[in-house]
Structure 1
């Protein structure tokens, strides 16, 4: 009696390492859906990418993985900066990246789905900024220490980029110049401040 061989693997993704072409199609579909303001789910991504639902699940097994893939497309190249030098020196390139993906970024900054996408990286983001700024804020007591760190993170974020784009008609280069200047002013203030509370005003 002959045995039938059933095709159990998806030809869109061969066994072994990821298929870069399929990964790119899925990532492009995620970016397009974000730009249109659609909620991310596996069915919509599969339809837009032209692959099976099963293939999308293989690359992104759950909703958190879909959101992480979304952040990887719109977030900073190389991920969240790990050093103060990377952060300050990378503002211009991050804002240029936001310009390149402006439609998706605008939705991500304003929608509930976008908030969920951003929050996928919250723990890693907070830890990275606390670590990179620890030597600069160590003299401050809480909650001033956290307030100072949060302001630095904001100045290098998509929110600062969007506000300058929407309200002041700046491109990424202009917004980056303004935010980099503000970051450097605050770093200089911390050098002079010591343990003085932020409520005392500029040092």
Structure 2
């Protein structure tokens, strides 16, 4: 039996199984606070070192595979937004999705290894949020565009752990609070018509 790409289905399943085992091993190592490298992944997954390199040729690709797993478990709407509308409409899915995978989301938000996972997506993240905020920030100076876009990005995903730990909020409550803050900022950005951020509108 073959799939539509003429690849034997059994072989495809075996490849997916091997990849999944390696990502499981990565997540376990991150949760333990272990240093991440191909040798450790191979040992934990019970897979040859060369096989790990074949799937993940460098450390960056290892980290990206964890990011893909985390966002996949959190839900299909947990992606980088490309528009203002996507930024606002995705808030409930993001915060409630993090609640569903709270132990894993906590590891990704609170450990050095989790930071490495997040940083592996830095370029894609910044490009996406620049596009999403472009209309609201277009009249600002270059530096103020950067500051406003960074603030919107932070509100879109970052407060989850702080709001959960310090305030006991649910994902739905966080989405409501962050949505209000983001809409307030977006309205302010449009009202100031290019005036510097330090000026009160």
2:114 is the counterpart of 1:114: yes
Change (3 A) 1:56 1:103: same
Q: What residue in structure 2 maps to residue 80 of structure 1?
A: 80
Unaligned 5+ residue runs, structure 1?
A: 1-12
Question: What CA RMSD, in Å, does the superposition of the two structures yield over aligned residues?
Answer: 2.3
Q: SS of the counterpart of 2:159? A: helix
CA contact (8 A) 2:39 2:49 kept: yes
Q: Deviation digits for residues 140-165 of structure 1, max 9, x if unmatched?
A: 113211111110000012x3111101
Matches within 5 A, 1:17-96: 19-75=15-71, 77=76, 79-96=79-96
Q: Deviation digits for residues 59-97 of structure 1, max 9, x if unmatched?
A: 112211101111112247464222222221111112222
Rounded to whole Å, the distance in 1 between the matches of 2:180 and 2:110 is: 26
Change (3 A) 1:34 1:92: farther
Q: What residue in structure 1 maps to residue 190 of structure 2?
A: 191
Rounded to whole Å, the distance in 1 between the matches of 2:31 and 2:91 is: 22
Rounded to whole Å, the distance in 2 between the matches of 1:51 and 1:82 is: 38
Q: Deviation digits for residues 155-182 of structure 1, max 9, x if unmatched?
A: 012x311110111111222211211111
Change (3 A) 1:43 1:171: farther
* 4+ aligned runs moved over 6 Å, structure 1: none
Report the TM-score, using the length of structure 2 for normalisation.
0.82
Rounded to whole Å, the distance in 1 between the matches of 2:140 and 2:150 is: 14
Q: SS of the counterpart of 1:200? A: coil
Say which one has the larger Rg.
1
Rounded to whole Å, the distance in 2 between the matches of 1:166 and 1:139 is: 37
Report the TM-score, using the length of structure 1 for normalisation.
0.81
Shift in Å, 1:194 = 0.8
Rounded to whole Å, the distance in 1 between the matches of 2:64 and 2:14 is: 17
Rounded to whole Å, the distance in 2 between the matches of 1:53 and 1:97 is: 33
Rounded to whole Å, the distance in 2 between the matches of 1:200 and 1:143 is: 14
CA contact (8 A) 1:29 1:45 kept: yes
Report the structure, 1 or 2, having the larger helix content. 2
Rounded to whole Å, the distance in 2 between the matches of 1:85 and 1:45 is: 39
